[in-house]
Amino acid sequence: TMDGGGAAVQHYQLDLVKEGIVLQDLTAEAGSSGGRIYKAPLDRRHYRVIRLPNALRALLVSDPLADQAAASMLVQVGAWDDPDELPGLAHFCEHMLFLGTEKYPEENDYSAYLSAHGGGSNAFTSSEHTVYHFELRHEYLEGALDRFAQFFIAPLFTPSATSRELLAVDSENKKNLKLDPRRANQVSKHLGSRNHPYHKFSTGNAETLSTIPEKAGIDVRAALLKFHAEYYSTNQMQLVILGRENLDVLQKWVEEKFSSAKNNNRIRAVRNGKPFDADQLGTRVHIKPVKNVRSMHMSWYLPPVIYEYRKMPENYIVHLLGHEGPGSILAFVKSKGWSTLLTASVADSTRDYLHIKVKLDLTPQGLEHVNEIVEIVYQYLDVMREAGPQQWIWEEAAKLAVLNYLFKDLQDPADATVDLSQMMEDDILPDEWILIGSDLFDQYDPALISTLVQLLIPTNMRLIVVAQELEVDATEPYYGTSYSVKPIAPELLQSWTKLPRNSQLNLPQVNEFIPTDFTLKAPPTTVHESMGIVPTLIEHNSRVKIWHKLDTSFQVPKVMVGFSIESPLPIATPENKVLTSIYAKMVTSSLNEYVYDADLAGAEFNLVATAKGLELEFRAYSHKVMILIDKVLHQIADYKRTLDPKVFAIYHEKAQRSYVNFMQGTASRMAAYHANLCRETNRWHADKTAEAANRVTYEDLCLYVPQMLRWLNFEILVHGNFTKEEALSLGGMTQKHFSASKPSPSNLNTRYVILPNDAEVHCIQQNRISGDKNAALVNVYEIGRATYRMNALLMLLDVIVNDPLFDQLRTKEQLGYIVSSRPKLHGDVVSYWITVQSEREPSYLDQRVERFFSTIPKLIGDLSAEAFDKFVTTLIAQLVEDDKYLFEQSSRFWVDISNKDYDFHSWRWKAEALKGLTKTDLLEFFATYLAAGAPQRRKLSARTTLPAAPTATTATSTNKEQDKDKKGEGDNNESEDESEDESEGESQEEGSQEEGEDEGEEGEEEEEDGGDSAATATTTTSSGSAAGTGAGAAAAATAGTTVKVAVVVVDDFDAFKATLCTHPTVQPAAPSHFIPL
């Protein structure tokens, strides 16, 4: 622990109780620690902390209104505890605990129990701890706890499961190999001190956990058993459970189920070393990324402050370094055209060190001025040192933290238990501070702040620069990342310590956006009572529609305001799409300095380009948000204030890179993208958008924006602590700023493809990540125009099938790390999506999926009446769950409005449709739409092949690829996770929702967007002869001919969709085609 010292310095403490934080007595029944605990005044939950005789510490949380129950166990063992000869063993152990225990030996017993009761599970391994967690319907918590407890008492580690799950660990590692944040992180670890475990490779792979140990005569299964026995000690465990039951019942369950877990009085290792030795500081590392991204990272590894949880001096430092208002580092480097994004963060805070990091994205010019940017950061640090810690800045930040805590949303049970278990780690926080964690700080220690700031010097810094343009001379062994590392010249380091005062850099001013009026504008009701109250259309004219709901149930002075600003132009051409996106980013950039204080004060705004135009969303405290909305609308409308050729050049270059980067998405992401592309009309192929991004100019933007703003419709949602009169005033504000606009004459509704009966369409494209070993299959089984009953049947099928699918394809067959199933609604076309990412070829994956489908009738038929009814009742209970917080409800309303659906009660009608469904109904549904040979089966199979596979361009070459695919030849396995942390995840749910079918608007984010290859394919009749390509094939498919589309080349997606697209998605408020339940 650092000691600020300095008797002459004035310390200050915030009175949390006077600020409104509740200090409540913890109930002190037998076995509990008693005492008090700080909590938010809106927190309805009750808490108790207990410690069992075996030293396991547990936090019990009783929530009488919880729909879901949850639990989380943190074990204080992580990758840093791996034996040197077995990198990844802690992560491997985490995987294995899911695969059977002595009491519940079936490998999928735990996951099947959770799935059958509306739940799921996950786990992750970090440097110093491993966290396991689950959630499910509250009625079934005890059964889940009994299974969960056995993870820590008697896991099996069977030889069969061990050998198979090693493949899952290896697959997980391979999915990360081309992810730039992971690659950069691993380079940093690889260069770390060998005197500290920071340098260890944490994921593990087949080499580190099988090949090398076998050659060395190491029995890995025996090592797993030893590792669990040694490190999984109850004195190093923290458990959190949340349920509807009272605290006495929860305590009884914990005592019954966890008391037999063993305590071997393990003592955590004491590490004296630091992540980097002295000669490894003051260095510059160059890393060559996979994607075309550019960034720089300045890192300082300082003495630990983890026990200074009430002072949190690091928060003061990153608050100032990361400020974005006038006088900030970002404002200055933006004015130079060198960067558009800066983040300052506490990258890690451990018992060994504090890692503070400043990260900037770089423009091409910024890459040429890295040293100057470093100089600017040190000039700002000089400003901080010269001014000394400012109590008013600390107090403003502390009171904003209190404000946010006072009106903190009630966390979802699963998130709450995971977060709380981490707050309990290592007994760092006393009981009274567990709920607060890092949300609040109440003790001002300027000497401690000064001590840390004095250590932020060049000789303590590590500088990392990431760009494809850099020269490199070494290769990191686990990820294969190209890098170089060199000491920074002593004279350059010295120059950064003696810098002239930069008059452009200053500490921030007082934040004028901090709200002071928290009056609630409606008498309170319960959330359950308000669930049936939906937004009302309070204004509807030729240009503006306003929906409004005054919140009465969540009792927070917050509001969500959404604007759908609709124009016919953005979707008209790929160029328009690009220009709309660039303009949205330029508007946001132009407002950044002004709105940053609002963001700090809890007023978030987001402006994005959509197929319809622009979407603008505010989530804020109701007081003062009108000022922000007025400013943003004015900035959008007064385009001449935004159009700047220098700013355009920056965002134009970013757009060009982003589309190229998107083309290098993960295999499953790209398969899902092409599946969506085949089915939606208002969507340009990303290749066309990428070409358009190369063509557009600043002059094009200057001509386009006034044209786009000339024809506009506005649809607005106001939900929260705003009266009807306030909501209506937004209509007047909108009319004022966009007075020159005229109503848009066009119907902007997306249309969706409906395939003909008995059609099977294959869309094949190549993985564009060079050297990647991933292929993927996304099978879309189109059911057709949705009714509530059809939706209900498909949802029911999925809750029954989801876990057996995962167990068979992932756990038993080990096809790959990502296996998932999901019902999906495009407009009012409902479909069933199956996703597998693997090292195997897509046609082999398709065979395995279809083989599993052949077992579904028996799977359903073998269910007892009781088990079937339990699936139905659990699903109904999930559908009718109350919303947890205001913005969760807002999001639900906003989706319905922005999609032009307006079916705010769909959850209720789906629940009604589930009532009375039988196994016969479900079997008939499957036989009609999904079984092989079903009369109304319609299948779209989007496939990403390995990078080495040749792109098919003719019927002959395509069929050759298909033949190769059928043999299961080739290799592939990888995925994309943009996380920069060191955690390794595993669970029966992992991957199933991670690789989303909705990749969003291409080009929106550098790491997320870009373009896609135009896939090639042919269409064949059921006899196998060529029937044509592109639009001709689609026409044949709709002409009534029985068509089996073996391979469709979608080098002409637009023609394909134009032929098969049959209807708009517009649905009236009470759509008649949904009514037969």
Distance between CA atoms of residues 137 and 875, nearest Å: 10
Helix (H/G/I), strand (E/B), else coil: 339:
coil
Helix axes 220-231, 159-176, angle to 10 degrees: 90
Estimate to the nearest angstrom the gap between the alpha carbon of 37 and the chain centroid.
31
Q: Enter the tokens of residue 74.
A: 């943190």
**β-pair type (295-302, 237-243):** unpaired
Annotated catalytic residue 1005: no
- For residues 923 and 931, what is the distance between their CA atoms, to the nearest angstrom? 10
DSSP notation for 382-429: HHHHHH---HHHHHHHHHHHHHHHHTPPPPPHHHHHHHHHHHTGGG-S
Cα 476 to the chain's mean position, in Å? 27
Q: Hey, how many other C-beta atoms are within 10 angstroms of the C-beta on 867? A: 11
Q: What is the chain's Cα-based Rg?
A: 29
| Helix extents (H) in 259-390 | 313-321, 329-336, 364-367, 370-387
Encode 13-48 in three state secondary structure: ECCCCCCCCEEEECCCCCCECCCEEEECCCCCCEEE
Q: Which of 628, 627, 626, 604 lies closest to 617, judged by CA?
A: 604
List alpha helices for 431-562, DSSP H.
446-454, 490-495, 527-530
- H/E run at residue 580: helix 574-600
Using CA atoms, how far residue 962 sits from 426, 666, 863, 943, 955, in Å, is 55, 21, 37, 11, 10
Tokens matching residue 469: 């343009």
How many Cα neighbours within 13 Å face the side chain of 947? 14
Q: CA-CA distance, 831 to 924, in Å (whole number)?
A: 16
Residue 6: DSSP 8-state? -
Distance CA 702, CA 718 (A): 32
User: Do residues 1016 and 951 lie in contact, with contact meaning Cβ atoms separated by under 8 Å?
Assistant: yes
Contact 178, 213 (CB under 8 A): no
Q: Please answer whether residues 73 and 132 qualify as being in contact, where contact means their C-beta atoms are separated by less than 8 angstroms.
A: yes
Instruction: State how far Cα 566 lies from the chain centre.
Output: 28
Calpha distance 405→40 (Å, rounded) = 6
3-state secondary structure 727-781: HHHHHHHHHHHCCCCECCCCCCCCEEECCCCCCEEEEEEECCCCCCCCEEEEEEE
How far is 588 from 607, CA to CA, in rounded Å?
7
Beta 295-302 vs 461-466: how paired, if at all? antiparallel
Which member of 19, 29, 94, 976 is catalytic? 94
The secondary element (H helix, E strand) that includes residue 462 is strand 461-466
3-state secondary structure 514-541: CCCCCCCCCCCCCHHHHCCCCCEEEEEC
What the block records as the tokens of 320 is 């100032």
At 254 the three-state DSSP class reads helix
Measure the CA–CA gap between 832 and 928, rounded to whole angstroms. Answer: 14
CA atoms of 949 and 961, how far apart (whole Å): 8
Catalytic residues: 94
